[in-house]
């Protein structure tokens, strides 16, 4: 019986380890704390989901546990709370880190083909299809 | 039926294979020479953002942006006691400080207690240290991690950003950069 308790205790301890690791909280005030105003929090949330974490680059700052993502969330929340527009915050970050920090694509001198090419391809395919189909007139 | 006569095909039969080989080469290049994933600051050659950070410890003064405009080039090191590469670059910072380079530090998301231990263990090459608990100044600088080292010229403009730890082979390079912006 005592052995069973030992095993149970070990299991609980091993389960508690990752919890202890997560307790390392950020020194940025709003890294893990939501804004009191639900409307502002949802605005901040939407922006955070479209900003790239600078360390774990496949993740948005809303998803990432990297320390710098905590700072970025805190920055976003504090500025939204001060009444700043989300797009202004995005522009501030792009000014410092380049387009890479944002997941929302912008039309620029470099990226316009990405927007024009699909349209051109659709037009081309329509033209090709028109030549392909011969509409038979009703007799 | 309008089938394409076999004769007119000619070289175009090789086109899919050529496209496929081109794709293989593209993938191979991406595999063996992965792109640089560091996010560099776009503030190079622009003035430092204005900031004023308190001192984390009593033994060193705090850091504000005006302190970095001294007529002489200097280094601004973004670091943290919790960051392993920062421990690895400590001897190189000591070496630079010994060579007469003035170094200021910004400790990011740090706690005074661990910072104290860090400085006691690895030495303190910093004239001033600013405590950037929220990481706001780090973001304002366009820094994407720790450690990073900025070369600041005498007029307080960012002239160079070194991403990652300073290894022994980077020391002469940084000294050259400092001399070049004098």
CA distance B6 to A25: 71
- Helices and strands (DSSP H and E) totals, chain B: 6, 7
Q: What is the pLDDT of residues A51-109, one digit of tens each?
A: 999 988 889 999 999 999 999 999 999 999 999 999 999 999 999 999 989 999 888 88
Q: Which tokens hold the place of A31?
A: 């890294």
pLDDT > 80? residue B152: yes
Residue B19 forms part of a structural domain? no
Note the pLDDT of residue B10.
81
pLDDT > 70? residue A14: no
CB-based contact (8 Å) between A29 and chain B? yes
The arrangement of strands across the sheet holding B148-152 comes to: B129-132, B103-108, B74-79, B148-152, B158-163
Q: What is the pLDDT of residues B81-126, one digit of tens each?
A: 999 999 999 999 999 999 999 999 999 999 999 999 999 999 999 9
Note the pLDDT of residue B136.
95
Task: Chain B: give the shortest CA distance to residue A88, in Å.
Answer: 14
- Burial grade of A113 (CB within 10 A; 0-12, 13-18, 19 or more): exposed
Cβ neighbour number for residue B118 with a 10 Å cutoff = 21
A1 versus B19: the higher-pLDDT residue is B19
Contact B139 A71 (CB under 8 A): yes
pLDDT > 50? residue A18: no
Average pLDDT across chain B, whole number = 92
The fraction of chain A above a pLDDT of 90, given in percent, is 63
CA distance B78 to B114: 16
Label the pairing between strands B74-79 and B103-108.
parallel
Contacts of B40 in chain A (CB under 8 A): 98
Q: How many domains does chain B have?
A: 1
All structural domains of chain A: 27-104 (1.10.8.640)
pLDDT > 50? residue A45: yes
- What does the pLDDT average to over B176-180? 94
CB-based contact (8 Å) between A39 and chain B? no
User: Nearest by CB to B142, which of A29, A55, A96?
Assistant: A96
Note the pLDDT of residue B2.
54
Contact A71 B141 (CB under 8 A): no
Note the pLDDT of residue B173.
96
Note the pLDDT of residue B35.
81
Q: Which domain holds residue B97?
A: 52-180
Which residues numbered 63-102 in A keep a CB inside 8 Å of some CB on B?
A: 67-68, 70-72, 74-75, 93, 95-98, 100-101
Q: Report the CATH number at residue B153.
A: 3.40.30.10
Helix ranges, B71-150 (H): 84-98, 112-122, 136-141
ipTM over 0.85: no
pTM of the model: 0.80
Residue B45 forms part of a structural domain? no
Which residues numbered 105-124 in A keep a CB inside 8 Å of some CB on B?
A: none
């Amino acid at each position: 019986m005592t052995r069973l308790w030992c095993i149970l205790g070990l299991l609980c301890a091993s389960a508690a380890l990752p919890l202890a690791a997560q307790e390392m909280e950020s020194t940025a005030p709003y890294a893990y704390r939501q804004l009191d105003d639900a409307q502002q929090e949802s605005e901040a949330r939407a922006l955070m989901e479209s900003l790239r974490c600078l360390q774990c680059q496949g993740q948005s700052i809303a998803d990432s546990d990297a320390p710098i993502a905590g700072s970025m969330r805190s920055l976003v929340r504090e500025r939204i709370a001060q009444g700043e527009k989300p797009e202004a915050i995005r522009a501030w970050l792009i000014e410092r880190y380049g387009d890479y920090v944002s997941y929302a694509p912008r039309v620029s001198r470099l990226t316009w083909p990405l927007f024009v090419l699909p349209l051109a391809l659709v037009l081309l395919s329509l033209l090709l299809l028109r030549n392909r189909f011969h509409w038979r007139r009703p007799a | 039926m309008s089938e394409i006569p076999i004769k007119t095909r000619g070289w175009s039969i090789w086109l899919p294979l050529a496209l496929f080989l081109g794709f293989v080469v593209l993938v191979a290049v991406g595999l063996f020479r992965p792109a640089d994933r560091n996010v560099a600051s776009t503030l190079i050659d622009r003035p430092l953002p204005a900031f004023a950070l308190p001192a984390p410890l009593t033994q060193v003064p705090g850091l504000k942006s005006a302190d970095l405009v001294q007529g002489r080039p200097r280094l601004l090191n973004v670091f943290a006691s919790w960051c392993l590469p920062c421990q690895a670059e400590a001897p190189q910072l000591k070496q630079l400080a010994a060579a007469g380079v003035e170094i200021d530090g910004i400790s990011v998301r740090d706690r005074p207690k661990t910072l104290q231990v860090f400085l006691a263990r690895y030495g303190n090459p910093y004239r001033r240290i600013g405590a950037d608990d929220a990481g706001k100044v780090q973001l304002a600088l366009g820094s994407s991690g720790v450690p990073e080292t900025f070369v600041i010229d005498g007029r307080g403009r960012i002239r160079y950003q070194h991403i990652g730890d300073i290894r022994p082979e980077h020391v002469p390079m940084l000294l050259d950069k400092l001399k070049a912006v004098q």
